């Protein structure tokens, strides 16, 4: 187990600034996920920790020791890549032991480590096979096993589930969480998939445009997004956003939407510029479909998505805007129904023109 500290890290490729003065601490035994869209800098950040990319400024410390001047093999980390990078002509056992043999680990110790890792990952019966004789999920386990046998201070996973089908991704996700509980090691996981981030992470680092937008636990990220980007990127379906005017309300901030609907929120009343530009954010589960003539806003059910445990209703409001609300899984709504929507004012968010977020309490 080891903490990883990034202190004022910067990275440039030619004239393009990729990472700019970034500081972050990954705690010992923490499972941290770097989450963000393609091109945001998350994989570059991981590669700098691994030593596969140099840094232009700052320091990287692992377990308190500065390592940014050390080659990858001396940093005490193991990396699992998106593509398994297994030697096709070698057996599973040879793939897992190859790196240990190169650094002179005794054969008896290599055998013991490989057998322990194989038992942990339930790939013992596969040790004599070659990669071409295995499924994608099995090959990914071998790649993880190759990292485990190194007994590193920290594991780095670079989108390791992206090549798996949907069902296998779910199963492997659970296996990774169980693996972390067993090996008790620091892990960093890079992904653009918010479900992977929410289900695996102790903390999530949300990145956008080569900078950190927010660091927090999954529910902090979901419930108290620091910016509109975080609110829109995390959560499925994405948060609804509506232009709004603000004023002091009875118990918080009163929000008036473009169609004239008024929503009383529990967002603390502040020195808002009542003539300023604001956006109301609210998630589908905080919107309830109610009978026509009641509720806060009115419209027509345009698209119905039945997901079994819940139903998503795409509602076209009277001003032409579209929002997504949630109904019960056995809802009998059909497209074209005239409906009303009730807002839960205790689960609302406001974003100003500078992207500052204000949350209900």
pLDDT in tens, 81-131: 877 788 999 999 999 999 899 888 899 999 999 998 888 888 899 999 999
Same-domain check for residues 335 and 224: no
Cα–Cα distance between 189 and 282 in angstroms, integer? 29
Asked if omega into 291 is within 30° of 0 (cis), the reply is no
* β-sheet bridge partners, residue 61: 5, 66
> DSSP string covering 156-206, please?
EEESTTTTS-HHHHHHHHHHHHHHHHHH--EEEEEES-HHHHHHH-SEEEE
CA of 128: how far to CAs of 39, 134, 162, 209, 329, in Å?
39, 11, 26, 45, 48
Same domain, 222 and 300: no
Percentage of the residues of the chain whose pLDDT score is greater than 70: 100
Kindly state whether residues 135 and 263 are assigned to the same domain. Answer: no
Residue pLDDT, tens place only, 30-47: 999 999 998 888 999 999
Check if the beta carbon of residue 87 is closer than 8 Å to that of residue 98. Answer: yes
Which position has the token pair 């918080």?
252
Picking from 212, 233, 254, the residue at the C-terminal end of a domain is 233
Residue 216: how many other CB atoms lie within 10 Å:
18
Retrieve residue 295's tokens: 């509720």
Q: Which of 207, 233, 259 is at the close of a domain?
A: 233
The reply to whether 156 and 184 lie within a common domain is yes
Domain check: are 229 and 282 in the same one?
no
pTM of the model: 0.90
Domain boundary among 200, 233, 266: 233
Q: How far apart are CA 52 and CA 238, in angstroms?
A: 35
pLDDT digit string, tens, across residues 216-264: 999 999 999 999 999 999 999 999 999 999 998 888 999 999 988 999 9
Answer yes or no: do 167 and 312 share one domain: no
Question: For residue 12, which phi and psi values (nearest 5 degrees)?
Answer: -135, 135
List the domain range (segments joined by +) for residue 262.
240-359
Cα 330 to Cα 289: distance, rounded to the nearest angstrom: 13
**Are residues 287 and 218 both part of a single domain?**
no
- Tokens (6 digits) for 285: 């589960």
Pair 187, 291 in one domain: no
* Angle at alpha carbon of residue 196, lines to 192 and 201, rounded to 5°: 105
β-pairing, 4-13 vs 211-216, is unpaired
pLDDT digits (tens, 9 = 90+) for 263-310: 999 999 887 888 888 999 999 999 999 888 788 999 999 999 999 999
The residues that bridge with 263 in the sheet, in sequence order, are 255
Domain harbouring 285, CATH code: 2.40.50.140
Residue/partner pairs of 244-248 with CB below 8 Å, 24 or more apart:
244/278, 244/279, 244/280, 244/350, 245/274, 245/278, 246/272, 246/274, 246/276, 246/278, 246/350, 247/272, 247/274
Closest of 10, 34, 35 to residue 21, by C-alpha:
10
Concatenated DSSP letters of 252-265: SEEEEETTS-EEE-
CATH of the domain at 88: 3.40.50.300
| 228 and 245, same domain (yes or no) | no
CA distance 163 to 236: 21
Q: Check residue 126 and report its DSSP letter.
A: G
At residue 175, φ and ψ (nearest 5 deg) are -65, -35
Per the structure, the count of domains in the chain is 2
Same domain, 188 and 214: yes
Confidence grade of residue 141 (pLDDT, cut at 50, 70, 90):
confident
- Do 192 and 292 share a domain, yes or no? no
> In this structure, which long-range contacts are made by residues 218-227, counting pairs with CB atoms below 8 Å and at least 24 apart in sequence?
222/198, 223/359, 224/357, 224/359, 225/281, 225/349, 225/357, 226/357, 227/351, 227/355, 227/357
Q: Check whether residue 158 and residue 285 sit in a common domain.
A: no
Q: What does the pLDDT look like over 170-224, one tens digit per residue?
A: 888 888 888 888 888 899 999 999 999 999 999 999 999 888 999 999 999 999 9
Centre a 10 Å sphere on the Cβ of residue 320 and count the other Cβ atoms it contains. Answer: 9
């Amino acid at each position: 187990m080891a903490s990883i500290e990034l202190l004022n890290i910067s990275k440039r490729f030619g004239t393009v600034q990729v990472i700019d003065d970034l500081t972050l601490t990954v705690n010992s035994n923490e499972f941290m996920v770097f989450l963000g869209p393609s091109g945001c800098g998350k994989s570059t950040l991981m590669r700098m920790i691994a030593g596969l990319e140099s840094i232009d400024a700052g320091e990287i410390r692992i377990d308190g020791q500065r390592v940014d001047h050390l080659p990858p093999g001396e940093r005490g980390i193991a990396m699992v890549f998106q593509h398994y990078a297994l030697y096709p002509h070698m057996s599973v056992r040879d793939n897992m032991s190859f790196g240990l043999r190169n650094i002179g680990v005794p054969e008896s110790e290599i055998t013991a480590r490989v057998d322990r890792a194989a038992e942990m990952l339930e790939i013992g019966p596969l040790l004599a096979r070659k990669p071409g004789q295995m499924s994608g999920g099995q090959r990914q386990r071998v790649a993880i096993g190759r990292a485990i046998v190194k007994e590193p201070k920290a594991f780095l996973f670079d989108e390791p589930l992206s090549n798996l089908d949907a069902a296998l991704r779910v199963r492997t996700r659970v296996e990774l969480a169980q693996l972390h509980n067993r090996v008790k090691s620091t892990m960093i996981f890079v992904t653009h998939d918010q479900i992977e981030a929410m289900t695996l992470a102790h903390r999530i680092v949300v990145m956008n445009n080569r900078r950190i937008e927010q660091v927090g636990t999954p529910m902090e990220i979901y419930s108290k997004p620091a910016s509109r980007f975080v609110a829109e990127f995390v959560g499925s379906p994405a948060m609804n956003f509506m232009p709004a005017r603000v004023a002091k309300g009875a118990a918080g901030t009163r929000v008036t939407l473009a169609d004239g609907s008024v929503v009383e929120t529990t967002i603390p009343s502040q020195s808002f510029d009542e003539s300023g530009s604001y956006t109301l954010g609210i998630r589908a589960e905080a919107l309830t479909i109610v009978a026509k003539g009641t509720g806060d806003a009115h419209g027509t059910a345009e698209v119905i998505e039945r997901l079994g445990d819940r139903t998503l209703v795409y509602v076209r409001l009277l001003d032409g805007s579209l929002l997504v609300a949630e109904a019960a899984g056995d809802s009998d709504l059909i497209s074209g129904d005239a409906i009303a929507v009730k807002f839960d004012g205790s689960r609302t968010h406001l974003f100003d023109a500078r992207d500052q977020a204000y949350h209900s309490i």
